[in-house]
Amino acid sequence: MSASLAFVFPGQGSQSLGMLAELAARYPLILDTFEEASKALGYNLWELTQQGPEAELNQTDKTQPAILTASIALWRLWLAEGGARPAYVAGHSLGEYSALVAAGSMSLGDAVKLVERRGQLMQEAVPAGQGAMAAILGLEDAAVLGACAEAAQGEVVSAVNFNSPGQVVIAGSVAAVQRAMDLCKTAGAKRAMPLPVSVPSHCELMRPAAERFADSVAMIDWKAPQIPLVQNVSAAVVSDLDRLKSDLLKQLYMPVRWVESIQALAANGATQLVECGPGKVLAGLNKRCADGVTTYNLNTPDAFAATLAALA
């Protein structure tokens, strides 16, 4: 184990058609992992990630198992190729489930079915077209929170992802999100951009989904994490299983405290981070969250080899 090493797992938005194709051509373990997930789900997940249709891959109940499986395929490959075990794991939103699989808290088969259900419940909680999310760039957190409070007017809008200093995502009902975007621009935000998502994640509109999701979470065969895990809701290491499950449900309607999570890792000496998943979304965020943090990637053969060489 490397005391300075933490693995961080990405959430939705990291998916793309053809993801991990080059790595799969070289390492059968990638395809084996997707086959294991496909058996649990009852459809060919690898085929969906490679051939689409893209609109289907981008449906949240398909996106979530796809990213989780890709992340765990890379995690398994890292260990198989002699990579060091990290001192900590963390995941951004959906990525928390990947982190839980990596930490040994649940099996891949259970996890993909769990996040498929999570996606279905999130979609059902808010009818299409009624919820929205937007990224606010270049504004202090306090100003974003103030804009949301002013914009609500009896509807839901709140800051839901504290991704990096100066990058906050808001979510809620369509009209309230639009009002908050306008207020943020007036307050001096560099940009306020609607996000192309089908559900307003991590806001109060998702509480009904969390209540319905509780049964699914309770049915999993849980084990205590074998690697300390920093959770989104608390931005702290949680080892108590009941608290961990409770925070996992709260995560559906409470903010992702990513800045504080990265700062918690750094404060514990984990400054070498590996983004274990498709894409490079977290690498761009992490460097702005805490001084002295370096994020490596595993998403291509070259990136994988370079990371393995750097951290061997």
CA 291 – CA 36 distance, rounded (Å): 39
Burial 45-55 (b: 16+ CB within 10 A, else e): bbebbbeeeee
Residues 156, 161, 164, 167, CA torsion sign: negative
pLDDT number for residue 198: 77
Nearest one of 218, 228, 255 to 87, comparing CA atoms: 228
Hey, which residues does 275 pair with through a beta bridge?
A: 8, 297
- Residues in the chain predicted with pLDDT less than 70, given as ranges, are none
pLDDT number for residue 191: 97
pLDDT number for residue 96: 98
Identify whether 93 is a catalytic site residue: yes
Q: Catalytic residue, from 198, 202, 234, 261: name it.
A: 202
- Stated as kind and residue range, the H or E segment containing 56 is helix 54-57
Residues 249, 254, 257, 258, CA torsion sign: positive
Nearest one of 102, 83, 79, 82 to 8, comparing CA atoms: 102
- Angle between helix 207-219 and 108-125 (nearest 10): 160
Q: Quote the DSSP letter at residue 255.
A: -
Give ∠ CA 227-96-286 in degrees, rounded to 5: 90
pLDDT number for residue 158: 98
CA 293 – CA 306 distance, rounded (Å): 17
Q: Catalytic residue, from 4, 38, 93, 98: name it.
A: 93
Q: Tell me the pLDDT tens digit for each residue of 199-222.
A: 999 999 999 999 999 999 999 999
pLDDT number for residue 159: 98
